[in-house]
Structure 1
Amino acid sequence: MLSILGLAALWTLTVHEGVDARCRSQPGDSRFPKAQAWADLNSTVDGRLLAVVPSAKACADMGCTPAQWSSAVFRNTLPGQMNTYNWEQNYTSKPAELCLYNDTSSCSQGDVPLYAINATKPEHLQAGVLFASQYDLRVAVKSSGHDYLGRSTARNSLLLWTQYLQDVEFTDSFMVGGQDKGSAVTIGSGVGLKTIYAATKEVGKMVVGGTAATVSAGGGYTQGAGHSAFSPIYGLAADNTLQYEIVLANGSFVTANEVLNSDLFWALRGGGAGSWGVITSATMQTHSIFNATAHRANILFSSTSQAAAAMTVHAQHIFDYDELRAGQYFYVYNIGGGESLLQVSTLFANVSGDDAQAALAPFLADVQAVGATLVNETVVTALVNDIVGAADDSAGYSGVLGSRLMPAAQYEQNPSVIGAAYKTLLDQGVAGVLGHLVAGGKVLENADISSAITPKWRTAKTHVIAAMNWNDTTSPSDVVELQERFFAQNVPVLAAATGEGDSGSYSNEANVLEPDFKTTFYGPNYDRLSAIKAQYDPEDLFIVRAGVGSERWDISGMCTL
């Protein structure tokens, strides 16, 4: 059995000169590890090396139920799964390599890793990193698989899987370089928001997080910035992150904060998921628990013209909640036949149900004045930890997203342009337009925080997504065409509605086809990010599509361009 130190020595002997003109090793190559090498790695990681299969194959083998298939909580137990499982497929190979739910008779591996290390401690990840470097393997890093860009999976790769890094530790005084940063929680990179909310509730605290149960706060969430309905009060999740522990490409295990490896810490907060190493834990500020009120309304639009008028009204009222610093999710779903449904969920901190209803009343009156139908309205007040997150997330479907940060100035000056975009997108047939009032307030006020978050977040008011889905009967060629058409036709409508040449995008809920991802995702920070990448990962071990350094690689991350 090779020790960690032995593997580290091998890494220093086999390091490549730059990233020029090279392909990583794959099955069939002379450099690819032989069976004995994999066996030795398995011993090094305490028998935690797994052969990985696509989620449909895993479900067929274990006889999972339809409810389990669509449950992100359940799917998190499967190393090969992605919540949007189109990222498990390879639609462009000849023939296409697919493994589809209820059609596993001819399953292919597709873009699912070959092996996974089911890590329970940093040493497992160190061994995996050094093994991948020694054999020049493609690496994928995944905590939960809640990934809309397919960055957590890769064809013919070794997966470094952190789902079972589940430690949660609280402190009243988290120290960084002798400075007391106040109360905080250190969470393993596999811990989902559902678990975090329950744990913080027990100690009278809360953290900045979104609604999704299985998003791992210590995974890609904060690396992308991390938005929340309570961001107008507390800022983005990355603003609230104090420290990371991370395994680097050379196999070292380091701490990154404002004092230690401060340049890496700067990059990890907003510089994109999957590009820097394998995070084992993140430490986040905690805030005192409070009561929150959720006001929810369902509103029906009978035509796309009515949707445009109603969403113009919505844009005109977007500043109504600023004094209360409320956050809001406003999702328009395309029902078909010209009809659509707006679901509005507005979350308030320390605001009564009556006051929440009063805050929404002007919008609801004006939206009904343009002919929209208010289907229902509900108000619930509870502890914030019980109200912010979902019990589970929908998964096991196929889809892609495109998004833009919508500037506050555009809402002030051109609300009708924003409303008109809804009509165009719905007429084009998108599945939905999903809006998030998660900026302004403290997000703007935190502009002086030194991090890699694109500055466009600081001037944005909302984050808006266009979504497109398809079912398993869609042919591979049609899937490719659908994705290309979505990006060529639908995403530009959203981009034009911002009133800017490039208003930026939230890189965790976006599209890998962005032609200028350096600007769209990272803005003026890209050159500095690239320099930090060269320092900490000179061989590009950690490459993801539309991530820092990915311009040097093909779309599979297997060969340099």
Structure 2
Amino acid sequence: MAPSSIFAGALLAFYLATPGSAAAVQKVSSVSDAGAPLFTNEQLQLTEHILSTAAPNHTALFDFAKNSSLSVRSRNECKAYPGDAAWPSNFVWTLFDELLGGALIKTVPLAAACYSSWPEYDSDECDTITADWTDSNLHAADPASVMWPLFEGRTCLPTTNASASCTVGGYSSYAVNVSNVAQVQLAVNFARNANLRLVVKNTGHDFNGKSTGAGALGVWTHHLKDIDYIKNYKSRTYQGPAVKMGAGVQAHEIYEKANELGFTAVGGEGKTVGVAGGYVLGGGHSPMSSMYGLAADQVLALEVVLANGRFVTVTEETDPDLFWAIRGGGGGTFGIVTSVISRVHPKVGVTVSTFSFATSTNVSADTFWAGIRSYVERFPAYADAGTYAYFWVIATGTDSFEFLMNPFFATNHTLAEYNALVEPWYKDLADLGISITPNSTYYDNYYDAWMAGFPLETVASSVMMTGSRLFPRANWETTYSFNSTFDALRTTVTAGYALLAFNMKAELQDGYPSNSANPAFRNTLLHAITSTSWSSTANNTAIKDQMETFTNDVMGIWRATCPDAGAYMSESDILEPNFKEAFYGSNYARLWKLKQIYDPTFLFYAPTGVGSDNWVVNSEDGLPDQNGRLCRV
């Protein structure tokens, strides 16, 4: 946004930070209770003095919360929405942008280049956007776009019909391109005081669109990329190597740094996943989970902007309740994290193996499933060996199926050790007449293995939704429970629903402090995902019917095998029945109490988040997306 001449003179006379950083900013000491210095961007903070000097006539719009302003508002209240009398004027948005140092972005949908009604219309650019639409890097690099446009509202998809309609829809109306803490504080204070919906985005990976919302102010943390390696980090309960990561750091970035410096980090399987954002805050399963647990388990300290606008250090010593809640209780729930400090581990070798098999004239459907059963039976042994496998089982026709191991990721296993581990299964396959040609390679470091083993994520389908389940170890402990589990998986695939799954475990390691990650993770041996889809020409009623059938009937078969288990909130069904039990388990009651303490006005709302059932999005299309006004129930 261009600076207004009304403010130019005053602001030029005011203290300015470096270009692109917040104008309302004061540099503070780098000392932190986290046990590692603040990043430079974290030293640039908002203070009452700076605020009163920068915007003396509008302090109330951007000021920190006082106790009285944290009281819960009317239960009938909706968040301010574009077009409302309460929506901030252009004058106020301009002032906000000035205080931010020019970091405010008015949202333009990523595919606007395809639509003649937008100034950005450009057929060549549209072709580029269309070709790259399923590439996760494209959406991660945009301030408002998310990986799953279904949950934005499908309001501006790539098209060859330039005269079609394109609106901002469920994307945030504005986004702050964050380069320092002061900008996060300003955004939090402005959203709270102006009663705006607030969303937080790094990459937009969450399967349910938690980082989008119609009429929202977005906080885009994607460019907080600092990484500091701490050779000997010390806290009350831990001494050893650690890494401090900015909230914008992605998996490929921390893994590359780890390889350079000779350590191994616990991060996502996906290449563009934001490790220090919603991923770790929601738990975060990893190719290293069978060895070291969840990403949330590794966290030793966090730097956070709370709902009152204050920047705080959160550790087990400074705030044990928040330290417990924020590690696993969900992104966009208790505050905006600007950095995390996580323990790291020694360099590790990995054997990566890929192969496939399928039904054929020599392999019947029953024989195929006997080969799958032989594999699934061995999940406890494989997870206990510290390995992680990513595989698909898909129907290719009537009584026709294919299995894809893509890959078996055998951490801390040489090629010989891997072959010894899987030899009994391979023998079973051979005895069944199922031929495989494994492509197995040993890498002496995690980074090279990960780069070779996991493809770039394909995203952005607007004609599908997913559901998942964490199948517990107990399902392998009796013949009846195992048969029920295996039959449920076979029934799903036979009905035409693909199975994408991970054989892994994620136990909390001895000596690690407890956290609020879904207790179902601690018992799991299988994180399984499936999906449903519909025609691109289906109307909203048909889509809603398909979604509900999937949730109740298809996913219901899985839930019946382990009704007391749960699902991974970041890769889940947005219509999951009893989401509190499914995503949070026994932790929900405590999380709800803490939510009311740290965010009593519910500044931080996210679909399926703690307390989200107190709110409703009145979506434009009647689907469970974020394209509509957010109101209290």
- TM-score, structure 1 as length reference: 0.91
Q: Which one of the candidate residues 504, 511, 522 is aligned to 1:438? A: 504
SS at match of 1:111: coil
1:135 aligns with: 194
- Kindly provide the CA deviation profile for residues 190-220 of structure 1, in whole angstroms up to 9, marking residues without a partner as x: 1110111001111001101232011111111
Question: Aligned equivalents of 1:196 and 1:409: distance in 2?
Answer: 35
Question: Aligned equivalents of 2:159 and 2:255: distance in 1?
Answer: 32
1:108 aligns with: 167
How far the C-alpha of 1:130 sits from its partner, in A, is: 0.7
Change (3 A) 1:340 1:70: same
- Kindly provide the CA deviation profile for residues 402-427 of structure 1, in whole angstroms up to 9, marking residues without a partner as x: 11111112123233222211232123
Q: Is residue 282 from structure 1 mapped to residue 340 from structure 2 by the alignment?
A: yes
1:521 aligns with: 583
Question: Aligned equivalents of 2:88 and 2:420: distance in 1?
Answer: 65
Change (3 A) 1:270 1:409: same
1:43 aligns with: 98
Between stretches 112-121 and 62-71, larger displacement belongs to 62-71
Change (3 A) 1:478 1:447: farther
Question: Aligned equivalents of 2:318 and 2:134: distance in 1?
Answer: 41
SS at match of 1:312: helix
- Residue 230 of structure 2 contacts residue 243 of structure 2 at CA under 8 Å; is this kept in 1? yes
- TM-score, structure 2 as length reference: 0.81
Question: Aligned equivalents of 1:18 and 1:262: distance in 2?
Answer: 28
How far the C-alpha of 1:445 sits from its partner, in A, is: 4.4
Question: Aligned equivalents of 1:252 and 1:304: distance in 2?
Answer: 60
Query: Which segments of 5 or more consecutive residues in structure 2 lack a partner in the other structure?
Result: 1-6, 8-22, 25-45, 49-58, 115-120, 618-625
- Residue 380 of structure 2 contacts residue 473 of structure 2 at CA under 8 Å; is this kept in 1? no
Q: Which one of the candidate residues 281, 303, 313 is aligned to 1:223? A: 281
Q: Which one of the candidate residues 74, 81, 87 is aligned to 1:26? A: 81
Change (3 A) 1:132 1:320: same
Q: Which one of the candidate residues 294, 298, 315 is aligned to 2:376? A: 315
How far the C-alpha of 1:148 sits from its partner, in A, is: 0.4
- Residue 130 of structure 2 contacts residue 158 of structure 2 at CA under 8 Å; is this kept in 1? no
- Kindly provide the CA deviation profile for residues 444-500 of structure 1, in whole angstroms up to 9, marking residues without a partner as x: 545973211222222222211122345644433332222222112111112123xx3
The one-letter code sitting in structure 1 at the alignment partner of 2:193 is: Q
Question: Aligned equivalents of 2:511 and 2:568: distance in 1?
Answer: 16
Between stretches 355-364 and 469-478, larger displacement belongs to 469-478
SS at match of 1:199: helix
The one-letter code sitting in structure 1 at the alignment partner of 2:491 is: T
- Residue 83 of structure 1 contacts residue 396 of structure 1 at CA under 8 Å; is this kept in 2? yes
Change (3 A) 1:48 1:460: same
- Residue 304 of structure 1 contacts residue 427 of structure 1 at CA under 8 Å; is this kept in 2? no
1:83 aligns with: 147
Question: Aligned equivalents of 1:231 and 1:385: distance in 2?
Answer: 15
Between stretches 414-423 and 469-478, larger displacement belongs to 469-478
How far the C-alpha of 1:117 sits from its partner, in A, is: 0.6
Q: Is residue 407 from structure 1 mapped to residue 466 from structure 2 by the alignment?
A: no
Question: Aligned equivalents of 1:543 and 1:559: distance in 2?
Answer: 11
- Residue 390 of structure 2 contacts residue 501 of structure 2 at CA under 8 Å; is this kept in 1? yes
Q: Is residue 417 from structure 1 mapped to residue 484 from structure 2 by the alignment?
A: yes
1:461-480 matched pairs, under 5 angstroms: 461-470=525-534, 472-480=536-544
Question: Aligned equivalents of 1:86 and 1:305: distance in 2?
Answer: 37
Change (3 A) 1:278 1:301: farther
SS at match of 1:173: strand
Query: Which segments of 5 or more consecutive residues in structure 1 lack a partner in the other structure?
Result: 91-96
Between stretches 408-417 and 114-123, larger displacement belongs to 408-417
Q: Is residue 496 from structure 1 mapped to residue 560 from structure 2 by the alignment?
A: yes
The one-letter code sitting in structure 1 at the alignment partner of 2:486 is: G
- Residue 292 of structure 1 contacts residue 348 of structure 1 at CA under 8 Å; is this kept in 2? yes
1:293 aligns with: 351
Question: Aligned equivalents of 1:103 and 1:87: distance in 2?
Answer: 22
How far the C-alpha of 1:34 sits from its partner, in A, is: 0.5
1:182 aligns with: 240
The one-letter code sitting in structure 2 at the alignment partner of 1:9 is: D
How far the C-alpha of 1:350 sits from its partner, in A, is: 3.0
Q: Is residue 553 from structure 1 mapped to residue 619 from structure 2 by the alignment?
A: no
Q: Which one of the candidate residues 567, 589, 594 is aligned to 1:505? A: 567
The one-letter code sitting in structure 1 at the alignment partner of 2:201 is: K
User: How many percent of aligned residue pairs carry the same amino acid?
Assistant: 30
Change (3 A) 1:158 1:8: closer
Q: Which one of the candidate residues 214, 217, 223 is aligned to 1:164? A: 223
Between stretches 168-177 and 362-371, larger displacement belongs to 362-371
Question: Aligned equivalents of 2:585 and 2:511: distance in 1?
Answer: 14
How far the C-alpha of 1:102 sits from its partner, in A, is: 4.2
SS at match of 1:172: strand
2:519 aligns with: 455
SS at match of 2:632: coil
Change (3 A) 1:319 1:180: closer
- Residue 229 of structure 1 contacts residue 437 of structure 1 at CA under 8 Å; is this kept in 2? no
- Residue 468 of structure 2 contacts residue 529 of structure 2 at CA under 8 Å; is this kept in 1? yes
Q: Is residue 364 from structure 1 mapped to residue 426 from structure 2 by the alignment?
A: yes
- Kindly provide the CA deviation profile for residues 308-343 of structure 1, in whole angstroms up to 9, marking residues without a partner as x: 433322221223325632121222233344433222
Q: Is residue 330 from structure 1 mapped to residue 391 from structure 2 by the alignment?
A: yes
Question: Aligned equivalents of 1:494 and 1:269: distance in 2?
Answer: 27
1:207 aligns with: 265
SS at match of 2:569: coil
Question: Aligned equivalents of 1:180 and 1:424: distance in 2?
Answer: 46
Question: Aligned equivalents of 1:153 and 1:335: distance in 2?
Answer: 35
The one-letter code sitting in structure 2 at the alignment partner of 1:535 is: I
2:17 aligns with: none
How far the C-alpha of 1:273 sits from its partner, in A, is: 2.0
- Kindly provide the CA deviation profile for residues 23-56 of structure 1, in whole angstroms up to 9, marking residues without a partner as x: 1111121111000111111111111111113332
Count of aligned pairs between the two proteins: 548
Question: Aligned equivalents of 2:367 and 2:178: distance in 1?
Answer: 52
- Residue 119 of structure 1 contacts residue 125 of structure 1 at CA under 8 Å; is this kept in 2? yes
